[in-house]
Structure 1
Amino acid sequence: MSTHSRFWRDPALPFIEARSVDDGRKVRYAPHSHQSFSIGAITAGRSTYVSGDSHQEVSAGTVVMMNPGVVHTCNPIAGEPWSYLMLYVDLHWLQALGFQPLQVLSSRLPSLYRELCDLHALLLDEHCSAASKHSALEVFFSALIQRFGTGKARRPMNNQRLLAAAGYIREHCTEPLRLEDISEAAGLSTSYLIRAFKQHFGLTPHGYLLDQRVQYARAQLRRGRLIAEVALEAGFADQAHLQRAFKRHLAATPGHYRSGQ
């Protein structure tokens, strides 16, 4: 059981998940993405934040934001202690509020930082009703969209064949895919696919496939399914393979994530 990282989920609010990390030195991420929108607050210390082409140093009081599908990492600086909290929000729920990809990656607005920390605390409050939490979430994210959702994604991807390759991987991520299958589906040579895909998405096609499999496994584990069963269904060789990939992408073991503790 982990004491430095905790997840929060509520069946009455299936569109959101929260995480808090007390010692970020013990939680390291490989480059990864989320299907959801992610927003977090650095509550102590400082860390590096990489999102797409942007490299920043962020510190206590900073709010970081990750658009769906954007490859990112956030890791400690030379072993310095730091802590943070995160919210992962379902894209479809946000789109009903008018969400578009945000142009900003981070903010030092004290008011936004306080509001996010207060919202996180409210979600974890066992005495607060699901209806009250739902209302608070709508208020916070509606205001966030009003404040920052004024344009399109920072790096629109216009190469339709690369988008087709990514879509093919997402659709078939649990199957035994070969690079040649992806290339053929997108109408690209394998050499161009590898080079251009990495340039656009920040991951190789294989890395993107692993990322999608981890996201699939994550959704299944949230339902309480057995880890070994999920590993095979998601396309991993075995439970140990899922364990390694899951820890690199989410900085948590499947068991820790499944239990929330």
Structure 2
Amino acid sequence: MNKTLYFSYEKLDFLELRYSISNQCYKQHIHNSLSIGAILDGQRIYTNKNKTITLEKNQLAIINPNTIHSCNSSSKIVNKIYMLYLDKNWCFELQKSIFPNINEFIPFSNEILKNKTLYKKFITLCELLFSNALILEKESCIIDFFCSLYTKYNKNIQIELKTSEKIENIILYMKNHLKEDISLNCLSKEFNLSTFYIIKLFKKELNISAHSYFINLKIEFAKELLKKGFSIVETALECGFFDQSHFHRNFKKIVAITPKEYQDNFIQ
């Protein structure tokens, strides 16, 4: 039986936690956030960019922001898994408190962390977030875990390679036009670039097509609206999905559950 729960809280608006008991598969996708995952049993096939790894218990999967990835069951066996999503800006502020000389977010160079101590701390953190503990205790535990994580792996991280100004401008344009059905021709005219160049640019810098990236942006925005209480119909329209079945299909491909299940399974 598949089951999914989400934790979100307005006083901890920099994070979202998902707990699932599932063997469902996800299409490769991206998040704007830093994502950390851990399974409680079995194995998962974790793909990060073009690298495929077997994720097991006592390991942490690390997914840097805007990195194409998937993490799917290796068989039809159901797994229990935690996925924590953290706002990139919040992570950067915490990094600056540990490494005062940095001036931008530092991503991890490791896709998998094989560290039983940090794994146990992560599971404890996830269990605490789903509990009735005081907000101060939850926040303290979050900061303690990430300080341990960054301190332990500060020698294994590298300065993030900046995306080109061209692609940053295209992404900003996409974010400002989520209600629209943007075409490659539209982007070509807006930025005076050939459609072929735009296709190559996204593939080279983000390892994802422009269309898939735009759909991901729409779904990430849809998740925000659903958490705020928008109806599914309103959310679909705000995100530029004028066909409900198209919205449901794309949402489930990326999130692995329907918009209604996502909205219903939040623990506030």
Task: Provide the TM-score with structure 1 as the length reference.
Answer: 0.91
Q: Which amino acid aligns with 1:17?
A: E
Q: Which amino acid aligns with 1:117?
A: I
TM superposition shift of 1:190: 0.5
**What secondary structure sits across from 2:11 in the alignment?**
coil
TM superposition shift of 1:3: 5.1
Partners in 1 of 2:215 and 2:62 — Cα distance? Answer: 23
Alignment equivalent of 1:212, drawn from 196, 200, 217: 217
Whether the 8 Å CA contact 2:34–2:64 is kept in 1: the answer is yes
The match for 2:98 is none
Alignment equivalent of 2:185, drawn from 180, 186, 198: 180
How do 1:162-173 residues align onto structure 2 when only pairs under 5 Å count? Answer: 162-173=167-178
How do 1:1-261 residues align onto structure 2 when only pairs under 5 Å count? Answer: 4-23=3-22, 25=23, 27-98=24-95, 99-126=105-132, 128-149=133-154, 150-153=157-160, 156=161, 159-260=164-265
Residues 96, 208 of structure 1: alpha-carbon distance in 2 compared, 3 angstrom cutoff? same
Partners in 2 of 1:175 and 1:248 — Cα distance? Answer: 20
TM superposition shift of 1:157: 5.2
Gaps of 5+ in 1: none
Partners in 2 of 1:58 and 1:245 — Cα distance? Answer: 25
TM superposition shift of 1:172: 2.1
Q: Which amino acid aligns with 2:165?
A: Q
C-alpha distance after superposition, 1:74-128 (max 9, x if no partner) = 11123243221111111222121025211111111101110100000111111x1
Q: Which amino acid aligns with 1:33?
A: I
Partners in 1 of 2:216 and 2:124 — Cα distance? Answer: 31
**What secondary structure sits across from 1:38 in the alignment?**
strand
- How many residue pairs were aligned? 255
After TM superposition, which residue ranges in structure 1, 4 or more long, deviate above 6 angstroms?
A: none
Q: Which amino acid aligns with 1:14?
A: D
Gaps of 5+ in 2: 96-104
**What secondary structure sits across from 1:111 in the alignment?**
helix
Residues 157, 91 of structure 1: alpha-carbon distance in 2 compared, 3 angstrom cutoff? closer
**What secondary structure sits across from 2:140 in the alignment?**
helix
Partners in 2 of 1:38 and 1:158 — Cα distance? Answer: 20
Partners in 1 of 2:187 and 2:81 — Cα distance? Answer: 37
C-alpha distance after superposition, 1:239-260 (max 9, x if no partner) = 2221111100111111111122
TM superposition shift of 1:143: 2.0
Q: Give the percent of matched residue pairs that are identical in Structure 1 and Structure 2.
A: 28
The match for 2:102 is none
